[in-house]
Structure 1
Amino acid sequence: MKQIDEKLINYSVYRDGTEWLGTADVQLPAIEALTETVKGAGIAGEVDTPTLGHFGAMSVTLNWRTMNASNLRLSQQKTHALDFRGAVQNYNSATGQFTSVGVKVSVRAMPKKTDPGKLEAAAAMGSSNELEVTYLKIMVDGKKLVEIDKFNFIAEFDGVDALAAVREQLGM
């Protein structure tokens, strides 16, 4: 059976688990490892190697059609818990059937920038929020695939925590 991931059917944005925030386009955080260039004897050139469990700044951006209470509340200088819950459409080429799989991205993030947008008659305002992400969890079909918690020293990918031994070695 060949399962072909096709597209995001739709999604919802929630704050604090229950408050529906409305319709926003979301740019999810990129995960970029902190790296150091290693070179020297025994290495033919240079290699940028990742530092176990350490990642650069991550941000999430929400783009809104209009300025609204949801987008302005996210300007409060505190940590916001946001969930992005979606359904991904798959196609089974053996059976010819379409199915859907749930995806959930959870972040804890603090505001970096709020843009109320522009005022133009009969047009979208283009409001947006950019938030700094300190916690990221990605679940697909009920399975946790990614969990990064910068303040609690967790960097888990597909059930393997890259920082478990480091936490123990640091007495954490």
Structure 2
Amino acid sequence: MTRQIAERVSQYTVYLNGSTFLGTSEVQLPSVESLTEAVKGAGIFGEVNSPTIGALASMTCTLNWRAIEPAAIRLAAPVAHALDFRASEQVFNPTTSSYDQVGIKASVRAIPKKFETGKLAVGATTDSLNEFEVIYYKLEVGGKVLLEIDKYNFKFIIDGVDYLAKMRSQLGL
């Protein structure tokens, strides 16, 4: 396998429903955090904050805009939005001393939580933003799905391993 060093995102785009270009915004992708509970007692040296498999904390996604954009206002509608963030990541191959580009695609289904229209100041950006609750998150790198989370359909897949398949079967889902 060719060793590549990921350096940076060269460019990226934001799309609604897979095809509607939304303009230029900066995105903060969701953090994936398990809900935990302290386990302590006889036979355990101290305390362990043990993750509950299949229980994730709230995931949010934020779009930051430089100016008041019609797209940002449309995204405030109280419905689930399908958003795709497509990026080209620059990588360096030290064996061949050459650069290449690797595609990244982050897809979310997200419900608006907050819309800030921003501020008005002469010669300044508005710093408008949309914040969403993420109910579905899929991350692909180089065409390979590395992460897929679907909160309402009990899916938690990391690098091809479905960590909730047995639970779905046990629950009859």
Considering the TM-score relative to the shorter chain, is it more than 0.5?
A: yes
Q: Which amino acid aligns with 2:9?
A: L
Query: Which aligned segments of 4 or more residues in structure 1 are displaced greater than 3 angstroms?
Result: none
- Find the aligned partners of 1:36 and 1:160 in 2 and give their Cα distance: 24
Where does residue 114 of structure 1 map in the other structure?
Answer: 115
Where does residue 11 of structure 2 map in the other structure?
Answer: 10
- Find the aligned partners of 1:156 and 1:28 in 2 and give their Cα distance: 17
Q: CA deviation at 1:2?
A: 3.4
Q: Which amino acid aligns with 2:51?
A: P
The one-character-per-residue Cα deviations of 1:111-162 (angstroms, maximum 9, x if unpaired) are 0000000011221111000000000000000000000000000000011111
Q: CA deviation at 1:3?
A: 1.4
- Find the aligned partners of 2:123 and 2:40 in 1 and give their Cα distance: 58
Q: Which amino acid aligns with 1:17?
A: G
The DSSP-based 3-state class of the residue aligned with 2:153 is coil
The DSSP-based 3-state class of the residue aligned with 1:22 is coil
The DSSP-based 3-state class of the residue aligned with 1:168 is helix
Q: Which amino acid aligns with 2:27?
A: V
Where does residue 159 of structure 1 map in the other structure?
Answer: 160
The one-character-per-residue Cα deviations of 1:12-70 (angstroms, maximum 9, x if unpaired) are 00000000000001000000011111111111000011111221000000000011110
Percent of residue pairs bearing the same amino acid type: 51
Where does residue 87 of structure 1 map in the other structure?
Answer: 88
Where does residue 47 of structure 2 map in the other structure?
Answer: 46
The DSSP-based 3-state class of the residue aligned with 1:72 is helix
- Find the aligned partners of 2:8 and 2:120 in 1 and give their Cα distance: 33
- Find the aligned partners of 2:54 and 2:15 in 1 and give their Cα distance: 28
- Find the aligned partners of 2:90 and 2:123 in 1 and give their Cα distance: 34
The correspondence of residues 96-107 of structure 1 with structure 2, limited to 5 A, is: 96-107=97-108
The DSSP-based 3-state class of the residue aligned with 2:71 is helix
Where does residue 136 of structure 2 map in the other structure?
Answer: 135
User: Mind listing any 5+ residue stretches in structure 1 that lack a counterpart?
Assistant: none
TM-score (norm 2): 0.98
The correspondence of residues 11-90 of structure 1 with structure 2, limited to 5 A, is: 11-90=12-91
The DSSP-based 3-state class of the residue aligned with 2:133 is strand
